[in-house]
Amino acid sequence: METLTVGLGDRSYRILGGNGNLPGIGALCRELGLGRIAAIVTNTTVGPLYSGGVAESLSAAGFSPVLVEIPDGEEFKTSETLNTIYNGLIAGGLTRDSFVIALGGGVVGDMAGFAAATYLRGIPFVQVPTTLLAQVDSSVGGKTGINHPLGKNLIGAFYQPRAVVIDVDTLATLAEREYLAGMAEVVKYGVVLDRELFAEVERNVPALLDRDKAVLTRIIMRCCSIKASVVEKDEREAGLRAVLNYGHTLGHAVETLAGYGTYLHGEAVAIGMVQAARLSEHRGLAGPADVERLCALLTSLKLPVELPVFAADAYKGVLMRDKKARDAGLGFVLNKGIGDFSMVCIRDMDEVLAVCGIGG
């Protein structure tokens, strides 16, 4: 087992990586000094696969687990589903010394985390990510929340977990499309923060497509370490943390306009990264070869790169609601070549639309 720490003072926590870690969850929660009742929040796909083992481990360590199951899908990342979680926590008798285990992908993690942040004004939670995307990104850093019909993750809170338990064994049951979507966030770290990681992914495409556990474990822990160091410096996205939003400005627009769940989050991020790279080229920060290299890697990972067609006004509307929008303009993360980034403020949305070929 490999361990990393996210250093945030009295809210610091460990990320446990590797395989075979699920059976150790009960012992870890005991070590963390968590209270008796543990709500395992999961969905109707992940629950039947993994909640039994997690519940057994918790019971063996003296906890009383209760199961809260929600429907599966990005389209259910809503206030209604959040209410289903609250109902489960109340019915399960959770008190302020109880805790939540978020068992699933990013959708479960974001919603269970937000429920934990707000139920009784906050109870502890542990992230147990079971998708590649959640293992490399969403389980770390404390962004929690739900979607709004007008924009992704518009409602939420920064609320750090007490621990993150990654078990790469769980990736064996993940559907191919979902697995590949997680690779988009891996590529993201490489493009803007780690040239060597980008090259490592390029060199290991066949092993990654085969889900080689050793390669995956190394890359997952590298991503967690990059994210941890960004979050340690800027937990609440006052500046630097926005780099983790590379590819998300147009990516979130695509998810919202196409209808949540039509494009997977990672797929939309892949498309958004290519548009961000084109803007970077337009602004003289990257060359055509960098854009080509990014497109080639995403394509070799079977990810989409083409921006879907929606009305220019529709794109503009969603872009203006991006969380990086300010009075002065839209904060946009661009790449400097491969491995570095630059934040710019874009005042004129027409520049974005023109470079991305939106509206003719």
Ligand X SMILES: O=C(O)C(=O)C[C@@H](O)[C@H](O)[C@H](O)COP(=O)(O)O
**Binding site members:** 72-77, 106-110, 130-131, 143, 152, 170-173, 185, 248, 265
Binding mask 56-85 for ligand NAD (x = CB under 6 A): ----------------x-x--x--------
Task: From the list ligand X, ligand NAD, none, pick the one residue 25 interacts with, judged by a Cβ distance below 5 to 8 Å according to partner type.
Answer: none
Which residues, in sequence order, are CB contacts of 48 under 8 Å at separation 6+? none
Total Cβ atoms within 10 A of residue 210 = 11
189 vs 315, beta carbon nearer ligand NAD: 189
Q: Which member of 16, 39, 46, 219 binds ligand NAD (CB under 6 A)?
A: 46
Q: Are 331 and 244 in contact, with CB atoms under 8 Å apart?
A: no
DSSP for 123-177, please give it.
Answer: --EEEEE-SHHIIIIITSS-EEEEEETTEEEEEEEE---SEEE--GGGGGGS-HH
> Catalytic residue at 245?
yes
> Catalytic residue at 148?
no
**Cα 274 to Cα 78: distance, rounded to the nearest angstrom:** 28
Q: HSE on the CB side for 190, CA within 13 Å?
A: 22
167 vs 290, beta carbon nearer ligand NAD: 167
Which residues contribute to the site for ligand X (CB under 6 A)?
Answer: 137, 141, 143, 152-153, 185, 237, 241, 244-245, 248, 323
**Cα 351 to Cα 355: distance, rounded to the nearest angstrom:** 6
Cross-strand bridge partners of residue 65: 38
Query: Binding site membership for NAD(+): which residues?
Result: 72-77, 106-110, 130-131, 143, 152, 170-173
169, two tokens:
């064994």
Minimum CB separation from ligand NAD for residue 146, in Å?
Answer: 9
Binding mask 146-185 for ligand NAD (x = CB under 6 A): ------xx----------------x--xx---x--x----
Q: Coil, helix or strand for 343? A: strand
155 vs 355, beta carbon nearer ligand NAD: 155
Could you list the residues that contact ligand NAD (CB under 6 A)?
43, 45-46, 49, 72, 74, 77, 104-108, 110, 130-131, 133-134, 137-138, 141, 143, 152-153, 170, 173-174, 178, 181, 265-266
